[in-house]
Chains A and B, each alone.
Chain A
Amino acid sequence: MSQSSVEQVPLTALQGITADAWQEISRACEEPDWVRDLRQKAWEAYVETPLPTLRDEDWRRTDYRELQLEDLLLYMPAGIEAACEADLPESLRSHSETGDDWGGMVVQVNSEIALTRLDETLQAQGVILAPLAQAVHTHPELVQPHLGRIVTPDDGKFPALHGAFFSGGIFCYVPPDTTVELPIQALVWMNAENIAVFPHVLLVADRGSQVTFVERYASPTLEAQSFSCPATEVVAKDGAQVRHVTIQDWGRHVIELGFQRLRVDNDGHLLTILAATGGKLVKNYVDNSFAGSGVEAFHRGFFFTDGTQHMDYKTMQDHLAPYSTSDLLIKGALRDRSRAVFTGVINVRKGSKRTDAYQENRNLLLSKRARSDSIPILEIDNDDVRCTHGSATGQVDQEELFYVMAHGLNKNDAARMLVEGFFSEVIQHTPLDGVQAQLAGKVQEKMAGWQVED
Chain B
Amino acid sequence: MLVGAAPFGVIFGTLAIGSGLPVWLTLGLSLLVFAGSSQFVAVSLIGSGTALPVIWLTTFVVNLRHALYSATLLPYARELPARWRWALSFWLTDETFAVVENQLRLHSNARDGAWYWLGSSLAMYCNWQLWTVVGVLLGQSVPVLATLGLDFAMVATFAAIVALQLRQRPVLFAALVAGGVALLARGLPYKLGLMLAALAGVAAGVLAERLAERVNRPTDPQASP
User: Do A and B interact?
Assistant: no
